[in-house]
Amino acid sequence: MPIRVHLPTAVPPLALERLHSLVENRTVFSLDAFELNIFETHRAAHRVPLRLEGLSLTTMLRGKKVMHLPGRPAFDYLPGESVVVGEDELMEIDFPDACLCQPTQCLAVAIAPDTIRQTVDLLNERYPKTEPTQPWALAGPDFAHLTNTPELTGTLERLVAVSRTTDAAKDVLAGFTLQELLVRLMQTQARQLIFQDYTRHLTTHPFAAVVQYIRQHLAEPLPVEKLSAVACMSKATFFRLFKREFGLTPVEYIVRERLAEAKRLLCHPLATVAEVCLRAGFNNLSYFQALFKKYEGLTPGAYKKQHAG
């Protein structure tokens, strides 16, 4: 059960008199390194074609789409999710619920290939990944549909903010933010690859074994010294490479896994909050309650009332 989805802040919809079209009305902010598009749809439509120049990171802000991409089954596309669309790839989009009172809204950041290549080359030269045979790169179609991490969401919001300003230095600031966005995107894809499918990589990636160990020992103490030994690295190297590859520390990952386990356990009608606290690996009830509220926006007791069967 995932941690609460972190939703990007939606942009205020355009007034009706400013719309050029009720279906995929497009507002464009052109910068040196990328083009930011904001699409709004105010009525139901089906199989609307769209093609963007360059590789694009799209992110849903409001409403629901159904995406049809070449060679992939159709899928629902909801706020808090992103889709990476290949260069000049044709999208066909359904808007089953869009209306004037409930428009859909989606961001699309179209990035020039040279910008991507420069960022990837810089990372591989200065900050190589754990496995030399798996360098930094944007993953393919299997990792195109993503749930946004808090880090990716925050970077997207900053990119939108700087794109919409009139600051004389906006292109410089936007360039730095775009580099961070690409890093966050690759880290998000790395999390999906290893965190969600670690069993396929146990013999090829040291962090897959670490993820397996954490999942199997959540209720026990998980010192970094033990995890670094599982990865066959020194403590300092393990901590640095884990943070570099996934964009969060091992301790932050453990906390998120324990909270996910706590959410699963809280759905059981007979489980108490105190029992869930211990079974999820927290040894202090007050700390568990405060942490749960910080991440989920409500207390464990309130969550249990909402979800216990």
pLDDT tens digit sequence for 214-264? 999 999 999 999 999 999 999 999 999 999 999 999 999 999 999 999 999
Query: Tell me, what's the pLDDT at 3?
Result: 45
Contacts of 274 (CB under 8 A, 6+ apart): 285
Mean pLDDT (whole number) for 33-50: 95
Boundaries of every domain in the chain: 16-195, 200-309
Query: Tell me, what's the pLDDT at 242?
Result: 96
Contacts of 144 (CB under 8 A, 6+ apart): 69, 72, 83, 84, 85
What is the chain's mean pLDDT, rounded?
92
Mean pLDDT (whole number) for 78-103: 93
Q: Cβ of 287: how many Cβ atoms within 10 Å?
A: 11
Q: Cβ of 301: how many Cβ atoms within 10 Å?
A: 13
| Position 9, amino acid | T
* pLDDT tier, 11 (very low <50, low <70, confident <90, very high otherwise): confident
Q: Determine the Cα–Cα distance for residues 11 and 37; give it in Å rounded to an integer.
A: 12
* pLDDT tier, 140 (very low <50, low <70, confident <90, very high otherwise): confident
Buried residues in 60-93 as b, exposed as e (16+ CB within 10 A): bbbbbbbbbbeeeeeeebebbbbbbbbeebebeb
3-state secondary structure the chain: CCCCCCCCCCCCCCCHHHCCCCCCEEEEEECCCEEEEEEEECCCEEEEEEECCCEEEEEEEECCEEEECCCCCCEEECCCEEEEECCCCEEEEEECCCECCECEEEEEEEECHHHHHHHHHHHHHHCCCCCCCCCCCCCCHHHCEEECCHHHHHHHHHHHHHHCCCCCCHHHHHHHHHHHHHHHHHHHHHHHHHHCCHHHHCCCCHHHHHHHHHHHCCCCCCCHHHHHHHCCCCHHHHHHHHHHHHCCCHHHHHHHHHHHHHHHHHCCCCCCHHHHHHHCCCCCHHHHHHHHHHHHCCCHHHHHHHHCC
Mean pLDDT (whole number) for 19-46: 94
State in Å, rounded, how far the first CA of the chain is from the last one: 15
Query: Tell me, what's the pLDDT at 111?
Result: 93
Return the CATH number of 200-309, one of 3.40.50.300, 3.40.1010.10, 1.10.10.60, 3.30.590.10. Answer: 1.10.10.60
Q: Which superfamily is assigned to 16-195 in CATH?
A: Regulatory protein AraC (2.60.120.280)
Mean pLDDT (whole number) for 29-47: 94
Residue 54 clears pLDDT 90, i.e. is over it: no
Query: Is the Cβ–Cβ distance between 300 and 262 less than 8 Å?
Result: yes
181 token code pair = 């966005």
Residue 5 clears pLDDT 70, i.e. is over it: no
Report angle CA 51, 57, 59 to the nearest 5 degrees. Answer: 100
Beta strands 75-77; 65-68: pairing state? antiparallel
- pTM comes to 0.85
Q: Using N-to-C axis directions, what is the helix angle for 250-266 and 285-296, rounded to 10°? A: 90
Query: Tell me, what's the pLDDT at 33?
Result: 87
Residue 191 clears pLDDT 80, i.e. is over it: yes
Beta strands 81-85; 90-95: pairing state? unpaired
Contacts of 305 (CB under 8 A, 6+ apart): none
* pLDDT tier, 186 (very low <50, low <70, confident <90, very high otherwise): very high
The backbone torsions φ and ψ at residue 18, rounded to the nearest 5 degrees and listed phi first, read -95, -5
Query: What percent of the chain has a predicted confidence (pLDDT) above 70?
Result: 97
